Chain A
Amino acid sequence: EPEVTQTPSHQVTQMGQEVILRCVPISNHLYFYWYRQILGQKVEFLVSFYNNEISEKSEIFDDQFSVERPDGSNFTLKIRSTKLEDSAMYFCASGRDGRETQYFGPGTRLLVL
């Protein structure tokens, strides 16, 4: 059964550095999402992406964040200048038509020092 994959599984970075988190959605899916979960807190929506543009974003998704689908398979989340409070598990998800189930990747655990 096809699955969403994410790389890396863990990333440690210094405050102020740029990080790129990568996701490969399920191949026939058209809607892509990023969520994050700070340790001990709820899973929070960051952004959704369809037809090569952002369709919805949360208040968390400020100017330091960006998303891109650089080719036909990858979907990336870039954090331009990381802060300590960006330390979290970041989940990518994809969905076939936007109304059906969102399928989640295993997550990337980001630690900002």
Chain B
Amino acid sequence: AQRVTQPEKLLSVFKGAPVELKCNYSYSGSPELFWYVQYSRQRLQLLLRHISRESIKGFTADLNKGETSFHLKKPFAQEEDSAMYYCALSGNQAGTALIFGKGTTLSVSS
């Protein structure tokens, strides 16, 4: 079954602390993995995708096929990182659906 699991509903950290948002997936085949972010009162927007291997706003995520994980990391959290983070996967066919996890709320306080 195709599934994305984000085990933490809420992650609270202090400013400057490291952050790791966990994501595990189940998919038969080679999925594409994404992290989407939703800031307060804003739309869902792409943060990063595994094939681009970029660092966006200091966040990185490495696809670990052995552990079927795609954890999101940032070494030093900022207050403006507070948001809802969704891990998602899709197949690599054109126009295929995104399958989302339940999301993790990241709260960064000073």
Contacts and interface: CB of A to CB of B under 8 A. Distances in A.
Contacts of B46: 101-103
Contacts of B100: 42-44
Nearest to B101: A42
A43 B44 contact: yes
Interface size class of A (residues with CB under 8 A): 20 to 34
Q: Which of A43, A98, A105, A106 has the most CB of B within 10 A?
A: A43
Interface in A43-71: 43-45, 48, 50, 55-56, 58
Q: Interface size for chain B: under 10, 10 to 19, 20 to 34, or 35 or more residues?
A: 20 to 34
Nearest to B41: A106
Contacts of A31: 94-95
A75 interface: no
A58 B34 CA distance: 20
A25 interface: no
Contacts of B34: 101
Interface in A74-108: 91, 93, 95, 97-99, 101-107
B92 interface: yes
Interface in B32-54: 34, 36, 42-46, 49
Interface of A: 3-4, 31, 33, 35, 41-45, 48, 50, 55-56, 58, 91, 93, 95, 97-99, 101-107
